[in-house]
Amino acid sequence: MSKTVKVLRENIPEIMDLWQHQVIKSVPAARDANAIALFDHLPNIIMDIADLMERSDVMADINMDKKYSEIIDNSVNHGRHRATSAYYTVEQVVHEYIILHRTLSKFITVHGGYNQQMSDLLKFVIETSILKSVGSFSLAIQEMQEKLIGTLAHDIRNPLAAAQLSLEMMEQDKTGKWAEKTRKAAQRSVKKAISLIEGLMNGITVKAGEGMMLHFESIDLIKDIKWVYAESKEVYTNEINLECEVEKIEGIFDSTAVRRLLENLIGNAVKYGFAKKPITISIMDEEGAVEIKVHNFGNPIPEEKQEQIFKFMGTAKKNIKSVSGSWGMGLTLAQIVAEAHGGDINLVSDKRTGTTFIITLIKHFNEPGKKRAKLSFVVESI
């Protein structure tokens, strides 16, 4: 199969261009992707197929070949990548591979490299690639769903626990001195839990590249920030300070999502910061954006782990505990919310200054209305 091998190795760019042309015509999700994202691991698979053809004269030997293992790995990674690309479905992932098979077969035939042995090997490899890619695609969607539902369920537990505490305080308050205050606190917490349940239901219907449903509207964000600040001072014994020089920040935001983002970051600051040192929330109003910082003093996050802490997908190996998992599901939420507002989240952490999470939200990135957040997280290889 030396001629076939040469044809494949020397013409990968042309083959990928032909494949891309057909995929964009036939696979709806591919139309919004740039060439680099669309090609993903497929050029590697073609090169591995060529190497496999060069070394394997008998089909029975393929399973033992290192290049075959590399094809499986690339197929798995391709499936996980497609799970973070918006609007892909299992059918569209399969369709991409079918088009790849047809493109390779036609190209090899036109260039005189076709033979039955080549055809059998190519069919076997593509079928295996489909199986592995679809499996990893489905597993990645399941992981995203579990993480989003886990985040939402965790957040629901907090207001319900607060409501229970308020009701217990009402029961113990024989004089009725705190009855009205605790009643309002319980009512507020139950209302918050009910609003989060809607998000939980939306999280059940996660699709490729999509996160939770957000509801954008024109609001004054300072009101929500001050609400979270006031509630946090009631809930936690830590000293919590708010630094904000503006009275109003207007824009298109999902107020519930931003509240939860801030609540989670404050919760992490309380959990991992020094109890006797203050937690500081800083607000900076810029021309087209708002910057929110949450700072605490405490043991820093190791530098080698700081790049991993926001990775949403993690690895597919269930026995590995993710770095972000140790910091709570709130960082997953923070990343989703920040990027859904056209912004981002960053981290500065060292022994001398402590830990600061910096969130940037673009004021008018979105139009008012409901929209699912897109996921643009880096997928780690297995």
Four-way CATH pick for 210-374: 3.30.565.10, 3.40.50.720, 3.50.50.60, 1.10.3720.10: 3.30.565.10
Query: CB-based contacts of 193: which residues, under 8 Å, 6+ apart?
Result: 156, 159, 160, 163
pLDDT at 322: 40
The secondary structure of the chain in percent helix, strand, coil, rounded to multiples of 5, reads: 60, 15, 25
- Per-residue pLDDT of the chain in tens (382 residues, 90 and over written 9): 678 888 889 999 999 999 999 999 999 988 877 778 888 888 988 998 888 887 655 555 677 778 888 889 999 999 988 887 878 889 999 999 999 999 999 999 998 877 888 888 889 899 999 999 999 999 988 887 777 777 777 777 777 887 888 888 888 877 777 778 788 778 877 877 776 676 666 555 666 767 677 889 999 999 999 989 988 887 788 999 999 999 999 999 999 889 889 988 998 899 889 999 999 999 999 989 999 999 999 988 888 777 777 765 444 344 334 433 444 456 777 888 899 999 999 999 998 899 999 999 999 999 999 887 776 544 444 4
Four-way CATH pick for 2-144: 1.10.287, 1.10.490, 2.60.40, 3.40.720: 1.10.490
With b for 16 or more beta-carbon neighbours within 10 A and e for fewer, the 143-167 pattern comes to: bbeebbbebbebbbebbeebbeebb
pLDDT at 295: 97
pLDDT at 320: 36
pLDDT at 205: 62
* Helix, strand or coil, per DSSP, at residue 20: helix
Of the CA atoms within 13 Å of residue 357, those in its CB half-sphere come to 27
Residue ranges of the chain that CATH labels 1.10.490:
2-144
pLDDT at 254: 92
The dihedral sign for the CA sequence 180, 186, 192, 194: negative
Residue ranges of the chain that CATH labels 3.30.565.10:
210-374
pTM: 0.63
Distance of CA 259 to the CA centre of its chain: 19
